[in-house]
Chain A
Amino acid sequence: MINNNKPNLAVEIAGIKLKNPVLTASGTFGYGQEFTPFLDLNKLGAIVLKGITLKPRRGNPPPRIIETPSGMLNAIGLQNVGVEALIREKLPYLQRFNTPVIINISGDTREEYIELARRLEEVSPELPISALEVNISCPNVQKGGLAWGIDASATYELVNCLRKATTLPLIVKLTPNVTNIKIIAQAAEEAGADALSLINTLVGMAVDLDSRKPELANISGGLSGPAVKPVALWMVWQVFQEVHIPIIGMGGIMKTRDALEFMVVGARAVSVGTANLVNPRAAIEIIEGIEKYLIENQIREVKELVGSMKI
């Protein structure tokens, strides 16, 4: 039976058609397979994988995470299997699902990013690779990472080089650890980004008063979870007014209403991060909740919500 009253949840980001606007945030959803006991990957808008580098990385020493009021700090340090193992061992599994897969990439040098992008483009005809999410905002590695994302000209240069190196859609992931995110967003757009995603984590720390030691071996870490939502909403709103390319909003989305708020301030799609660690079905419940909301409010297309804030 065709239900004409069913609202349309589909959105398009960077030329990729998503059946709904809910993605999984990089680093909180592993390589996808870990979550198959809990949900059907086919139902997701897209899967964004754990950050990958050219060579495997061992990551930071433990302890790597600590809970903070309504949030958490993490300093994983980009531990990952490296692009070759990703291609060999992780991506083939995801082929059986009809959900776009977005690969989050990181590097120490421009050359590393470029080589990664080239390698992934090379295998993209045979493997599920819909887009690259360029992480220029990881606060937990010594070199690279954040250094790109806090400087407009470095952002421009990196994205521009990647634009020339690959035809894969480029989503540039921005950091909130800047004085003016609009300038960075603009630089990424001018350099040829197809979409932006924000926010990555906010740099912070936690200390144990009794031992007077930092809670994380890395001392600092990235704050995520409900605690960062107001900051993330504000950043998405600012960037939305500045750029013409679509925005994937994230930061503290735990439930349906959080996701919808991000859309209202300008996000065309959203990513669910820390919530996956607490409730492995969070993304699915949010998708179902969005559909219900649209029906209840007689909204035919989820797109209508994007940037609909009244001021």
Chain B
Amino acid sequence: MTILNLKIKILSRKEVTPNIYLLSLAAPAIAQQALPGQFLHIKCSKDNYPLLRRPISIHRVNPQKGEIQILFQVAGEGTKLLAERPVGDDLDIIGPLGNSFKLYPESKKVMLIGGGIGVAALLALGEEAIRQGKEVQVLIGALNKELVLAEEIFSDLGAKVEVATNDGSYRYKGLVTELLEKILEEEALATGLPHQIFACGPRPLLKKVSEIAFQKNIDSQVSMEERMGCGIGACLGCVCKIKGEDQNNNNNGLPPPPYIYKRVCIDGPIFRGNEVVWDDQ
């Protein structure tokens, strides 16, 4: 894997639902090597404001056409500018970055859970799992019907898709994690539990999914988010707490705290749900 710093052309742009944009980008060198769960570090502005790049998940990869897609929500100054960049413009990106979701060969059945824009990071994984012949179930969570993302794309791929909306405007009413609990109860009796669970979305969702998976003894992997500086492991700005004993650390004679800081940009963004320390923040 080589990390590249490239200028890549915006081929098309579409506002798929209010404030959420899909960009297709010409990037053969990225498309050849990108793995599910990886991200791009994108310079949204052309000057110093906003200054820092923004990490955006790779949504879909088409190695044959040499194209990739990103699906993102306008959440601040950076993503606002990104959404305004015209077709034909060159985007300055660094990528592909980060580790990736790991599908185990022995997992016949996997479950993907996305909350809000978190769904964006799961499509490439879903495609890969289907390609490997796995049974794929996708749980999509959104505030309301309008904001449900990628339902049709996942269905067309051959995944079994369930949807939860907070306001009940579409399908299951409630949190996607409540839907998860319900489905796991049913599946346990019917065709059996999934062998792996993958999640991307807000922190409370990731925490809850990890807890549920742990209780059911299912391996879980979650995509963590943290503000980033460099994106390449150099600035130590993006850490999260991961369980583990840091024997090296001097803690003024006290026993070391049971966690270490790992960099989301390079040690992550994918971590196992049960290795993340969730209590703070």
Complex Cα distance, B38 from A266, in Å, reads 44
Smallest beta-carbon distance A40→chain B, Å: 14
- What's the interface size class on A, roughly? 35 or more
Partner pick for A35 among B226, B227, B232, CB 8 A cutoff: B232
Chain B residues, CB < 8 A from A59: 236, 239, 261
From B27-35, B42-50, B129-137, B167-175, the one touching the partner chain is B42-50
Chain B nearest CB from A261 CB (Å) reads: 15
Alpha-carbon distance between A56 and B247 when the two chains are bound, in angstroms: 10
Contact present for A74 and B51 (CB under 8 Å): no
Contacts of A281 in B (CB 8 A): 5
Closest residue on chain A to residue B53 by CB atoms: A278
A277 near B52: Cβ-Cβ < 8 Å: yes
Proximity string of chain A (273-285) to chain B, C-beta cutoff 8 Å, 1 when within and 0 when not: 0101111110000
Within 8 A of B (CB), among A20-39: 27-31, 34-35, 37-38
Tell me if B260 and A58 are in contact (CB < 8 A): yes
- Structural contact, A278 and B235, CB atoms closer than 8 A: no
Interface of A with B (CB < 8 Å)? 27-31, 34-35, 37-38, 50, 55-59, 61-67, 69-72, 74, 76, 79, 82, 85, 217, 225-226, 254, 274, 276-281
A34-B232, A67-B227, A277-B53 are known contacts; what are 11 more A-B pairs with Cβ within 8 Å?
A28-B235, A34-B233, A55-B249, A64-B238, A74-B229, A74-B235, A76-B237, A85-B248, A276-B230, A277-B235, A280-B232
Please give the residue numbers on chain B whose beta carbons come within 8 Å of chain A beta carbons, in ascending order: 2-5, 43, 48-53, 94, 226-230, 232-241, 246, 248-250, 257, 260-261, 280-281
- Residues on A with beta carbons closer than 8 Å to the beta carbon of B236: 27, 50, 59, 64, 76, 79
Tell me whether A71 and B5 are in contact in the complex, defined as CB-CB below 8 angstroms, given that A34-B232, A280-B232 are known contacts: no
- Report the Cα distance A225→B51, complex, angstroms: 8
Q: Which of the residues A31, A56, A69, A278 comes within 8 Å of B248, measured between beta carbons?
A: A56
| A62 with B4, Cβ < 8 A, contacts A55-B249, A56-B250, A278-B43 known | no
Would A74 and B237 be within 8 Å (CB), given that A65-B229, A278-B51, A280-B232 are in contact? yes
A38-B5, A76-B235 given; A58·B51 CB < 8 A? no
Bound Cα distance A279, B48 (Å): 11
Scoring B50, B53, B237, B239 by chain A CB atoms within 10 A of each residue's CB, the highest score goes to: B237
CB < 8 Å: which of B94, B234, B241, B261 contacts A30?
A: B234
- List residues of chain A with CB within 8 A of the CB of B233: 30, 34
Chain B residues contacting A82 (CB-CB under 8 Å) are: 248
Q: In the complex, what residues of B have CB within 8 A of residue A74's CB? A: 229, 235, 237
Which residues of B have CB within 8 Å of A56? Answer: 246, 248-250
Known: A226-B48, A274-B51. A280 touches B281 (CB 8 A): no
A70 to B47, CA, bound (A): 9
Name B237's contact: one of A64, A276, A279 (CB within 8 Å): A64
Neighbouring B residues of A58 by C-beta, 8 Å:
246, 249, 257, 260-261
27 residue pairs bridging A and B, Cβ less than 8 Å apart: A27-B236, A28-B230, A28-B235, A34-B232, A35-B234, A58-B257, A59-B236, A61-B241, A63-B281, A64-B227, A64-B239, A65-B237, A67-B50, A67-B227, A72-B51, A76-B237, A79-B239, A225-B48, A226-B48, A226-B51, A277-B52, A277-B230, A277-B235, A278-B53, A280-B94, A280-B230, A280-B232
Task: Give the CA-CA distance A27 to B236 in the complex, in Å.
Answer: 8
Q: Classify the secondary structure of A's interface with B.
A: loop
Which residues of A are found within 8 Å of B260, using beta-carbon distances?
58
Q: A59-B261, A64-B239, A71-B51 are in contact. Are A34 and B230 (CB under 8 A)?
A: yes
CB-defined contacts of B226 to chain A, threshold 8 Å: 62-63
Nearest Cβ distance between residue A53 and chain B, in whole angstroms?
9
- Give A44 Cβ to nearest chain B Cβ, in Å: 14
Closest 4 CB pairs of A and B: A30-B234, A65-B237, A55-B250, A34-B234
* Whole-angstrom CA separation of A217 from B237 in the bound complex: 12
Roughly how many angstroms separate A279 CA and B228 CA in the complex, as a whole number?
14
Q: Distance (Å) between the CB of A305 and the closest chain B CB?
A: 24
Residues of A within 8 A of B257 (CB): 58
Q: Which residues of B contact A67 (CB under 8 A)?
A: 50-52, 227
> Shortest CB–CB separation between residue B262 and chain A, in angstroms?
11
A85→B247 CA distance, assembly (Å):
13
* Contact call B249/A37, Cβ cutoff below 8 A: no
Q: For residue A27, which residues in chain B have a CB less than 8 angstroms away from its CB?
A: 235-236
Chain A residues closer than 8 Å to B261, beta-carbon distance? 58-59, 62, 79
